[in-house]
Structure 1
């Protein structure tokens, strides 16, 4: 079917005066919703066509639906697909800025617009400045999460027994949109290391979603912990930001739930594994930055190393104190040893106490 749509797209684009614009739009949407992959040749036809639809600003239900579907289709393009900036940058920027001022898009459409742009970060790092400083993504993500969280009744059972068959596999639209925002944030944390003070507030917003969903929607709560882990793993936020945002307390509370399952226990312990490994480094930065700082130190350029080291030790003390208070120190140590075990090629290099570590886990 995808091949058929592709042939129809090519044929319709070859037409001049007889070109059916509505048919072309429908073909583009169907093709993307069925197929994540897109060639550079097709992207030059599909992306401008759907952005033209998404730029419509009439405030009526029919137009809103057209815009929503067009943006949903664009958001389905896989993140590894290269699309030239000239095909989308001006239009997607206008769509986001116009909504920020006039609130003309649906929640799902706006999330899809951001999803399309954030996915381009994976290949085009030059977008970081625009996304963070011009379009204020972090501020918008905070606002959207806070709003959507209030729209959901987190105390309600996910499925009522008498409606089980009718509602199975379905979730509230707001919950689905929260899920999509968490996926976008995960990509943002992976590809964008442009730090801002707003990130502490964003961490706190993710924590609030986690706390609201942990008893009722395990999938969302587990993915919140996954996002918090990736935020520090890829260097988007500092360990200090996680502490200020309440992430440590929240994850520790999640590990103590009576309904704790394998997904939450793994994500929670893996979160602390990444954090404690991060704190072993001299500074809370990635490996490339560490090499630069070490070189500067050798050359006498880095004058603040003593102060940085003191701050790092203080932060490490606070984190370890929290972990020790809840009795997770041995378990996390075990997790470190277990991951080292899985990564080693020669078993004769393993610790003599490896069996004790596996028992603790």
Structure 2
């Protein structure tokens, strides 16, 4: 009840400050900073409630009537766009507002300028436009991508430059699956990623966002797989980031049921990219074994908390089984089989995790049969099966799986996926 009162207070405070914005420039700037702090105190639902067509129309009218300076409008809109992108809030109201049309016109006007072009102002406009909307006509997308990559390419390590790079890259990461020509982004995004690998000049969120932008391009540019895997070493970098984040987290604290800590959002972001990489990649390298171990370490750190992250961890390990380039031997070496056995034998089980765990072992069983059909060396095949069976027997796997016999149909009905109702399909024959 107390939390609900606080949330209501945030909304009222934001609206009150917004209604009082028509003052002198400095007083207006102070109120906007207070509004931005109020936004930071909102949870996701509360934040969504203030994103309305009416708000954006009022800001546009205030700019037109010279009751709000463009500088102050950008101060407010950049923060709203940043929070919208960070929290993955999906609302279609900016595109319907007069402010959307105003921003498009200003971007075109500023881009046409030659000597007197204000690159910083154009970057601010592009950041607001990309992070607040979902409609990106190609000509605007190309202008924004080129402009924001320039901001992110600045190599200064001071806090202000890092924040600007973070805002630019986070905005870029929200450009979705829109097709962008390689010559507009590849050289620059590679330089941004490589520079951070050498100098650590980006924030954690900025670095994740750079990878996010690159992965979105993968659906249209399959040649990027080689760049991602071998040149930029995604698996190695994802492992390092997860391990660094785990060191920073206080796993003993209670979960924040309001606005999640930024580190938790970043962990979820890396896991999402890891899953995308596993599902799309046809290339295998030993760096993935290290990444498997980091995912396992993260899963064990949860201790029945942060349900969404635990489900992502188990799902990512199941995706590895399905990946053609990954073998059962890789799963054994990385410890994936051990940790899923641990999960499925927990005294208190989450249905979604049980479902993913059962699918994991069903897929392992299928993979062993596939590898046999691929004419694996007979001695190697026997040795591998022996290792797997011994591990399963030691952990009482068969009895555990049999105990789920009655729950298979309800899980199948609940999740409507490829879970077999035949218990023998989950056993390793």
Q: TM-score, normalised by structure 2?
A: 0.67
Is the contact made by 1:214 and 1:221 (CA closer than 8 Å) also made in structure 2? no
Mapped partners of 1:17, 1:266: distance in 2? 61
Change over 3 Å in CA distance of 1:35–1:255 after alignment to 2: farther
Aligned-pair CA distance for 1:328: 3.6
Mapped partners of 1:277, 1:338: distance in 2? 20
> Are 1:47 and 2:138 an aligned pair?
no
The aligned counterpart of 1:14 is 112
Aligned-pair CA distance for 1:13: 2.4
Is the contact made by 1:222 and 1:263 (CA closer than 8 Å) also made in structure 2? yes
Mapped partners of 1:82, 1:331: distance in 2? 49
Change over 3 Å in CA distance of 1:276–1:355 after alignment to 2: closer
Change over 3 Å in CA distance of 1:203–1:37 after alignment to 2: farther
- In the TM superposition, what whole-angstrom CA distance separates every residue of 1:171-226 from its partner, at most 9, and x where no partner exists? 33222211111111111112222110111111011000011013222211111011
Is the contact made by 2:351 and 2:411 (CA closer than 8 Å) also made in structure 1? no
Change over 3 Å in CA distance of 1:157–1:201 after alignment to 2: same
Aligned ranges 1:222-241 → 2 under 5 Å: 222-241=311-330
> Are 1:311 and 2:380 an aligned pair?
yes
> Are 1:184 and 2:253 an aligned pair?
no
The aligned counterpart of 2:17 is none
Change over 3 Å in CA distance of 1:8–1:310 after alignment to 2: farther
What is the aligned counterpart of 1:87 among 184, 190, 203?
184
Is the contact made by 1:75 and 1:116 (CA closer than 8 Å) also made in structure 2? yes
Instruction: For residue 223 of structure 2, give the secondary structure of its aligned residue in structure 1.
Output: helix
The aligned counterpart of 1:65 is 163
Aligned-pair CA distance for 1:228: 1.0
Aligned ranges 1:1-361 → 2 under 5 Å: 1-2=94-95, 3-4=100-101, 5-36=103-134, 38-78=136-176, 80-159=177-256, 168-282=257-371, 305=375, 307=377, 311-312=380-381, 314-323=383-392, 325-326=396-397, 327-330=399-402
Q: Is the deviation greater in 62-71 or in 107-116?
A: 107-116
Instruction: For residue 218 of structure 2, give the secondary structure of its aligned residue in structure 1.
Output: helix
Mapped partners of 1:336, 1:276: distance in 2? 20
Change over 3 Å in CA distance of 1:262–1:333 after alignment to 2: closer
Q: Pairwise CA RMSD of aligned residues?
A: 3.0
Mapped partners of 1:17, 1:104: distance in 2? 30
Say which one has the larger Rg.
Answer: 2
Is the contact made by 1:68 and 1:106 (CA closer than 8 Å) also made in structure 2? yes
Mapped partners of 1:241, 1:169: distance in 2? 39
The aligned counterpart of 1:302 is none
The aligned counterpart of 1:165 is none
Is the contact made by 1:207 and 1:246 (CA closer than 8 Å) also made in structure 2? yes
Aligned-pair CA distance for 1:17: 4.1
Aligned-pair CA distance for 1:339: 6.2
- How many equivalent pairs are there? 319
Aligned-pair CA distance for 1:54: 0.1
Mapped partners of 2:278, 2:417: distance in 1? 25
The aligned counterpart of 1:347 is none
Mapped partners of 1:233, 1:179: distance in 2? 21
Aligned-pair CA distance for 1:317: 4.8
Change over 3 Å in CA distance of 1:186–1:39 after alignment to 2: farther
Mapped partners of 1:120, 1:320: distance in 2? 41
- In the TM superposition, what whole-angstrom CA distance separates every residue of 1:42-63 from its partner, at most 9, and x where no partner exists? 3321111100000111221111
Instruction: For residue 24 of structure 1, give the secondary structure of its aligned residue in structure 2.
Output: helix
